[in-house]
Amino acid sequence: MDVGEVGQGMSVRILRPGVSLFILCSLSGFSSACGQSAPQGPQGTATLRLTLKQAVQIALKQNPRQVVAQLLVQQSARDSQIERAPLLPQIRLGASAALEQYNLQTVERLPEPKAAGPFQHVEGGTFFSQTLLNLPLIRQYQIGREGTVEANANQKTNREDVAAAVVAQYLLVLKAFADYEATAAQVALAERLFEQATELQKTGVALNIDVVRANVQLQIERQVLIRADTETRTTRYRLAELLDLPREQEPQVADHFEFFDLPTFDREASIAKALSNRPEMKAIAAETRIAELSRKSASDERLPQLDFTGFWSYQGVHFSDSIPSYSYAASLSIPLFVGGRIHTEIERQKLVEQQVDENRKALEARIVREVKTALDELESARTAVDVANAALQLANEEVAQAQRRFQAGVTTNVEVIEAQTTLAVASDNQVEALYVFNQSRANLARAMGEIENAYTK
């Protein structure tokens, strides 16, 4: 199975927060409260309705971390060009004019100072140089190119991190709205049961304590609803920050929690694919090559260096009577003794190579752990959703039976209140199970190095 299916999958059933709300509304018969919409932003605040895919796409374009990563890639490319420049021919135009006079007494043993000159001299032409053989410079250019590869891999890692952060926050927003809707349904049920207790007290079936108990439960649910409403706002603020939206604009989620029946993943194949796909592995591979090239560059300083320089210009007393002049020179430099610097530099680069290799081993171990953990959590989350759905259905049946028993005067509404509490817990568990399942899918996609592909295509 392709890891992209972690974000897509085959839908066998869709469980949304509205399911709990629908069941509770049908049970209580309280339709007006259940028809209320989810909380919106403050008055005057513009909202931007986004799907999860759209949110990730926006973040990958304008999230500040991503913009900085793109700038670092461009900077690395410029650095590579700078490292290449010394290997190319260097040509410049130059011109000079001079009027000089000398004291011959400084070069001859004369009893008195004697002037020589003044002499006038003009010159203009081209000056050029070319590195013919300089392996350390070549190594530096190769290191610069590997630096660009590393920067691109780091940018890809950053894109994965940004996508993972947006997906996680978007799911938290969905969870907050699911909690709000479930709590709103609990409030509607509590209002209905309070009205029922009040009516039964008037007919003598219920006691005053039943009314008080129902009212207490209603106030508790309303308090929970206030906190849930606040959570729907604060989670969106964090999402707006990740998307780098204007301060007067807030995101509004357009998706719902969904459950997909995903095939079983082969553990070893998933680990192998993660080690191949993860951009961190590509970055550490570039670091390894940079360390190796740096060691070779240090060793290459022992080799001869060959350069070519020269100039061609017009020289004379005046430009009108100048004649061509030129100079071509080749220079060979062979280091004989540099105080042990080259040997020390080679040993230092070997230590750097060892550090990079240890970092690679640690990264591989972390990726293996992340993949195994994500697979186990996803499998656990699948089962948890099924258990939560069954528990919610039983809790709804318990509330219905308790309500009928109280209506018939068989018992007090203690059973109803207890059933309400059980239903609230079951509803919360269902929302939590759906959230954990969707987050586990995202964690597996991130561990495999394909969360961007999974949630943008």
Nearest to 4 by CA among 77, 50, 53: 53
Nearest alpha carbon to residue 433 among 400, 394, 390, 398: 390
Work out the pLDDT band at 43, boundaries 50, 70, 90: low
Spatial contact of 20 and 392, defined as CB atoms under 8 Å apart:
yes
Give 440-454 pLDDT, tens digit per residue.
999 999 999 999 999
For 104-149, what is each residue's pLDDT tens digit? 888 777 888 888 888 888 999 999 999 999 999 999 999 999 999 9
CATH fold group of domain 3-87+134-303+339-456: Outer membrane efflux proteins (OEP) (1.20.1600)
DSSP 3-state of 429: helix
Single out the residue of 173, 196, 222, 259 nearest to residue 405, CA to CA. Answer: 196
Return the structure tokens found at 402: 């308790």
Lowest pLDDT segment from 80-94, 177-191, 256-270, 349-363: 256-270
Whether the predicted pLDDT of 17 surpasses 70: no
Angle subtended by helix axes 208-243 and 414-447, to nearest 10: 20
Contact indicator for 182, 431 with CB cutoff of 8 Å: yes
Q: What is the mean pLDDT of the chain?
A: 86
Q: How confident is the model at residue 9 (pLDDT cuts 50, 70, 90)?
A: very low
d(CA 200, CA 348): 87
Residue 16: pLDDT over 70:
no
pLDDT given for residue 78 in this prediction: 92
| Residue scoring higher pLDDT (326 or 105) | 326
Residue ranges of domains in the chain:
3-87+134-303+339-456
pLDDT over threshold 90, residue 172 = yes
Closest CA to 180 of 145, 227, 138, 218: 227
Cα 356 versus chain centre, distance: 23
Q: How confident is the model at residue 322 (pLDDT cuts 50, 70, 90)?
A: confident
Q: Is 340 left (phi over 0), alpha (psi -120 to 50) or beta?
A: left
Looking at residue 40, its pLDDT comes to 59
Q: What CA–CA distance (Å, rounded) separates 276 from 270?
A: 10
Q: What is the pLDDT of residues 88-98, one digit of tens each?
A: 999 999 998 89
Q: What is the pLDDT of residue 422?
A: 92
Q: What is the pTM of this model?
A: 0.81
| Structure-token pair, residue 116 | 């020589």
